[in-house]
Amino acid sequence: MSHNDQIMFQPLATRMRPTNLDEFIGQQHLLGRDKPLRRAVEQGILHSMILWGPPGVGKTTLARLIAEQSNARFVRLSAVFSGVKDLRQVVEEAEKARDEHHQATILFVDEVHRFNKAQQDVLLPFVEEGVFILIGATTENPSFELNNALLSRTRVYVLKRLSEEELLQVLQHALKDKKKGLGKLVIHLPEALQFIIVKAADGDARQVLNLLEIIADLAQENKNEMTVTEALLEEIIQTNLRRFDKQGEFFYDQISALHKAVRGSSPDAALYWFCRMLDGGCDPLYIGRRAIRMASEDIGLADPRALTLAMEACEVYERLGSPEGELTLAQAIVYLACAPKSNAVYVAFNTAMREAKTYGTLEVPLHLRNAPTKLMKSLAYGKAYRYAHDEPEAYAAGEKYLPDEIGDHQYYYPTSRGLEIKIKEKLDYFRELDKKAPQSTKK
């Protein structure tokens, strides 16, 4: 088998890897002319780094180019399959290469966020001492997934999803490159269908090349020439390529967008993000549970029906399942977005919780304690307690219900929106009664 034949047996995405920074498509905010990272790579100035970005944007390729540019050894580990034993072996080989051959080692750890705390701690002294240069690739937010100690010893570079124009460059380069790309295959792919492939790939260069490779396999079965039709392309793109990582950064970004759209009273945006998450494979009941949270946090007593509707939408979905039950969840999402907003209860809860922790174990005032025994009565438990239902308007004006050390502290400040308008009026009225109550009744 010739060298060229061996190359053609490699996956197209592997064959089309750029061999220098000029061939690298995308990430111009990092690799454009005179950008600091590009200058560092071209000058062979190595430093440990974390490459954070979505799949298919060139994290692995960039790591390889950095190693090649600096004539460093390139060692690749997968955090999914590697453990402390593998790291120890890398250290031994890196020390040997440094001491005997004066050659630096780049350790590329794919999915570095999968390393647990102990594994990350193993890396620290060797990164600090320069035994190897660490390049970690992750699709997750490093600030959530990596130890602060490791983050402080690396520089984080954010890689962006590729634009449609950049994906089109990737596709057209593979179509034209007869040496590494399609070889002798002749594929007629109209520009309109190229854009369909680009859209289906959703920012992922690897997906573009994988789709093209499927087309190439069909062309080989068709005497090395093929005209791609829209019908054929639709059949090839039958797998959902849109990204939705149920535990990853895309997940948290989208649920954050949905929550903020509801809070911002934008039913259209809320519905869009709801559908995006469903389309990507999110469990509808997860969204339902988040809707219950939104009803309490962002609507509260401005419209108590919001919480009931969110709860009922989840129950209906559990009965109907998909796709019928999803409409009920959509109804709840739209209602929440349109409802009057108040975070007054949410703020009051957090403030009261903070004070409960700050003041510690304060005693319950005697007049609020139960007195089921003679001893407790003799100790004045429950003495002078005023039963609200026996008071005018069922309100014991001037009565105290907080510990003496806290006094008359107000946590809940109802807004002037929705039902809280009425609640505010009622509470303001009660506070006026408290002010007018004789001092002797105040405990």
Fold of 27-158: Rossmann fold (3.40.50)
Give residue 314's pLDDT.
Answer: 93
pLDDT digits (tens, 9 = 90+) for 134-181: 999 998 888 888 888 899 999 999 999 899 999 999 999 988 887 787
Residues 6+ away with beta carbon under 8 Å from 222: none
pLDDT over 50 (residue 320): yes
CATH code for the structural domain at 362-441: 1.10.3710
> What type of residue sits at position 54?
P
* Residue scoring higher pLDDT (263 or 357): 263
Q: Residue 233 to residues 215, 219, 280, 351, 419: CA-CA distances in angstroms?
A: 8, 13, 21, 57, 54
Comparing 10-14, 187-191, 422-426, the range with the smallest average pLDDT is 10-14
Percent of the chain past pLDDT 70, that is, above it, reads: 93
CA separation for the pair 56, 133 (Å, rounded): 23
pLDDT over 90 (residue 211): no
**CB neighbours of residue 21 within 10 Å:** 18
CATH code for the structural domain at 249-338: 1.20.272.10
pLDDT over 90 (residue 258): yes
Give residue 339's pLDDT.
Answer: 96
Angle between helices 284-294 and 249-263 (to 10 degrees): 40
The CATH number corresponding to 164-236 among 1.10.8.60, 1.10.3720.10, 3.40.50.2300, 3.40.640.10 equals 1.10.8.60
Per-residue confidence band for 441, with pLDDT thresholds at 50, 70 and 90: very low
Give residue 440's pLDDT.
Answer: 43
Q: In 3D, which of 387, 297, 280, 384 has the Cα closest to residue 336? A: 297
417-435 average pLDDT score: 92
Give residue 362's pLDDT.
Answer: 85
The rounded mean pLDDT for the chain is 86
pLDDT digits (tens, 9 = 90+) for 222-238: 777 778 888 888 878 76
298-305 average pLDDT score: 96
Token reading at 8: 């053609």
Q: Hey, where are the domains in the chain?
A: 27-158, 164-236, 249-338, 362-441
Comparing 95-99, 133-137, 231-235, 307-311, the range with the smallest average pLDDT is 231-235
70-79 average pLDDT score: 89
pLDDT over 90 (residue 346): yes
87-110 average pLDDT score: 91
Residues 6+ away with beta carbon under 8 Å from 298: 259, 262, 263, 336, 341, 342, 343, 346
Most confident of 57-71, 206-220, 427-441: 57-71
Give residue 352's pLDDT.
Answer: 92
Encode the chain in three state secondary structure: CCHHHHHHHCCHHHHCCCCCHHHCCCCHHHHCCCCHHHHHHHCCCCCCEEEECCCCCCHHHHHHHHHHHCCCEEEEEECCCCCHHHHHHHHHHHHHHHHHHCCCEEEEEECHHHCCHHHHHHHHHHHHHCCCEEEEEECCCHHHHCCHHHHCCCEEEECCCCCHHHHHHHHHHHHHCCCCCCCCCEEECCHHHHHHHHHHHCCCHHHHHHHHHHHHHHHHCCCCEEECCHHHHHHHCCCCCCCCCCCCHHHHHHHHHHHHHHHCCCHHHHHHHHHHHHHCCCCHHHHHHHHHHHHHHHHHHHCCHHHHHHHHHHHHHHHHCCCHHHHHHHHHHHHHHHCCCCCHHHHHHHHHHHHHHHHCCCCCCHHHCCCCCHHHHHCCCCCCCCCHHHCHHHCCCCCCCCCCCCCCCCCCCCCCCCCHHHHHHHHHHHHHHHHHCCHHHCC
Per-residue confidence band for 249, with pLDDT thresholds at 50, 70 and 90: low
**CB neighbours of residue 332 within 10 Å:** 28
Residue 220 CA, distance from chain mean position? 41
Q: In 3D, which of 297, 309, 255, 294 has the Cα closest to residue 278? A: 255
pLDDT over 70 (residue 439): no
Per-residue confidence band for 248, with pLDDT thresholds at 50, 70 and 90: low
Residues 6+ away with beta carbon under 8 Å from 243: 54, 55, 202, 203, 204, 250, 280
